[in-house]
Amino acid sequence: MSGHSKWATIKRQKGVADIKRGLTFTKISNAINVAVKKGGGITDINSNFRLRLAVEEARANNMPKETIERAIQRAVGGGAGAVEEVIYEGFAPGGVNVIIEAATDNTHRTTSEIKSFFSKEGASFGRPGSVSYQFKQLGSITVKKGDKSLDQIFELVSDSGAEDIEDADENVIIYTSPLEVAKVKDKIVGKGLEIVGLELIRKPVVLVPITNKEKLQKTVNFLHKLEELDDVQKVYSNLDVYQ
């Protein structure tokens, strides 16, 4: 009986994992689609840096080659079901600024869903430009420390074109200009560092702490639930999570 229960639990967990994996593949496919369009229809990853990042993320998540190619062809073909990028701005419970990057084949539906979510959660939906000035667009390259210190990694990447470096426990985050991220990444690999993450981000200029535990938890829950919405690709906030 106990063996049966254990197997049932494993099956349930696998089902949840499969659902999450499917959602991840859908979001990455949409990111590839948007990257091709933003890159003027260029499907060569060596000439379209945003597509290169999306494809590398797809590979890191074990997306099959055929699925990647279908996503690229879907972007080239356009027509019904074509996906476009939409940016939303607003204020989460607790007053922190939020930017949402979404990818959708129906802008009206996605806008309505996100507005409704904000209203239900006691957040404020903002106008374009209401919070974006509080964030800086950057390339983010995460590398493993391994047996190296932060100072040693800084020395290795100081001449690579990186703009900033940040300690992240077992890893180090290297920030670059969005247009330089692919070039900097190649230089870092050449220095023998192991890359565990690569993406374009919106980094907050100033972080906002929330000292009230109840408000903090409500804000964190809001951000997590926002990330889980189907059309949402990425969520950025200026919440100080290290307070």
80 in helix, strand or coil?
coil
135-204: CATH number? 3.30.70.980
Q: Give the class (CATH, top level) of 2-77.
A: mainly alpha
Report how far residue 204's alpha carbon sits from residue 193's, in angstroms, rounded to the nearest whole number: 26
Beta strands in 5-117 (DSSP E): 84-91, 97-104
Question: What DSSP designation does 63 have?
Answer: -
Q: Per-residue pLDDT tens for 120-166?
A: 999 999 999 999 999 999 999 999 999 999 899 988 888 888 888 88
Q: Assign domain 84-133+206-237 to its CATH superfamily.
A: YebC, transcriptional regulation domain (3.30.70.980)
Copy the structure tokens of residue 191.
Answer: 């220095």
Domain 84-133+206-237 and domain 135-204, same fold? Reply is yes
Q: Per-residue pLDDT tens for 158-199?
A: 888 888 888 888 999 999 998 888 889 889 999 999 988 888
Q: With contact defined as beta carbons under 8 Å apart, do 241 and 209 qualify?
A: no
Report how far residue 140's alpha carbon sits from residue 120's, in angstroms, rounded to the nearest whole number: 33
Amino acid in position 54: A
144 in helix, strand or coil?
strand
* pLDDT greater than 50 at residue 12: no
6 in helix, strand or coil?
helix
CA 138, 20, 219, 108 torsion-angle sign: positive
* pLDDT greater than 80 at residue 7: no
Report how far residue 68's alpha carbon sits from residue 168's, in angstroms, rounded to the nearest whole number: 30
Domain segments of the chain as ranges? 2-77, 84-133+206-237, 135-204
Q: Per-residue pLDDT tens for 76-107?
A: 876 556 788 999 999 998 889 999 999 998 99
Rg of the chain (C-alpha set)? 20
